Amino acid sequence: MSEIVANDVRLHVQRIGPPGGAGTDIPTVVMLHGMVMDNMSSFYLSLGTYLSDAGCDVICYDLRGHGRSERTPDGYRLTDSLADLTGLLDELGVDQPVHLVGNSYGATMALAYGLEHGERVASLTLIEPPFLLEGLGEEMARSLSQILAAMSDDEVEQWLQQAAGRVAGRATRSARRLLQETTIAGDMLATQPFSTEALGRLAMPVLVVYGENSDIVDQAETLTSVIPNTTLVVLAHHTHMVLREATGYLRELMRWWLFEDRGTEPPVYVPRTERRFETPRWVTDMVPPPDLNTPRPAAAAEGGRG
């Protein structure tokens, strides 16, 4: 399987592992990647194939406008992303609640989907979710505008021509076209704030993962204080790029989350040498260093319950 049409949009999809469905004990896991500089490959290569080998029915897809999915000129509001996901599940004939795993924007999307379609969600795994009770849309739109401004810099163009590898250069140019040729940044402004009352009624279990040195780790405390049945894991020495930086541990954590008794503690995080992905300096320069005066979440860096 490579392409399907869902919600009138052509989406690039990969489904791997044993088929799940009604009457089976096979968990169906749907992975939602981040925005602009990301696509389904980040999940497929890190957690997707591992979980399929572990016995999961895994669905990875490129969000609208990303990777090999159709780049429509508009339709990038959060509500559009949720409608695309519903259309995808319907087209695939997924008739049982799924485990949503999201990274960055994909995590915010997963949380919103759990609120809107709780009957279709068995659990949520939120990796580095941007989470603000007010001004979330404005913050995401501001971030996208910063990325576009950075991409228009002469230094970036020089990096693309002289130093970027083929894959990195292609991904960066694709991201620039997405920002320049679609309404994605403006559409983010339509993102509605989360309702604390609705969040307090979430019935499914929620796993939240942040890097201790992430620029948004301060949002973890608010998120876990309003959502019941939440397990918070904060990984020492890691950043917003925790999916790439701590892949090995996330594999252990997801196996525990999907297959083991959640009455037990999460697996202990043991720092190890992980494969590192080189990030261009112009990207890291846009991410402010963490405010060392900001109190950190109470959960232990080795993993704890929120």
| Closest-CA residue to 235 (of 268, 204, 260) | 268
Please check whether residue 158 lies inside any domain of the structure.
no
Which residues are bridge partners to 226 per DSSP?
Answer: none
Structural domain total, the chain: 1
Around 147, how many Cα atoms within 13 Å sit in the side-chain half-sphere?
22
Query: In which residue are the tokens 């401004």 written?
Result: 149
Structural domain includes residue 156: no
Of residues 291 and 167, more confidently modeled = 167
Task: Look at residue 103 and tell me if it is in a domain.
Answer: yes
Residue 161 lies in a domain: no
Question: Which residues fall within 8 angstroms of residue 273, CB to CB, at 6 or more apart?
Answer: none
**What mean pLDDT is reported for the chain?**
82
Write down the pTM of the prediction.
0.81
- For residue 73, the domain's CATH number is 3.40.50.1820
Domain that includes residue 281, residue range: 3-136+187-305
CA angle at residue 228 from 226 to 233, to 5 degrees? 85
Is residue 287 over pLDDT 60?
no
Kindly tell me if the per-residue pLDDT of 281 is higher than 70: no
Q: Give the CA angle between residues 280, 282, 286 to the nearest 5°.
A: 120
For residue 164, tell me if it sits in a domain.
Answer: no
3-class secondary-structure state, position 245: helix
Domain membership flag for residue 109: yes
Residue type for 165, please? G
Position 12 in a domain: yes
Q: With respect to residue 168, please indicate whether it lies within any of the assigned structural domains.
A: no
pLDDT tens column, 179-217: 888 998 888 888 888 889 999 999 999 999 999 999 889
Contacting residues for 31 by C-beta, under 8 A, at least 6 apart: 40, 43, 44, 47, 48, 58, 59, 60, 61, 101, 102, 106
- The answer to whether 239 touches 213, Cβ cutoff 8 Å, is yes
- Determine how many CB atoms are found less than 10 A away from the CB of residue 225: 13
Amino acid letter, 195: S
Show the CA angle centred on residue 176, arms to residues 110 and 171, nearest 5°.
Answer: 70
CB 91 within 8 A of CB 63: no
Q: What is the pLDDT of residues 52-103, one digit of tens each?
A: 999 999 999 999 999 999 999 999 999 999 999 999 999 999 999 999 999 9
Q: What is the DSSP letter of 111?
A: H
Distance between CA atoms of residues 164 and 172, nearest Å: 9
Strands (E), the chain: 3-6, 9-16, 28-32, 57-61, 98-103, 121-127, 206-211, 230-235, 304-305
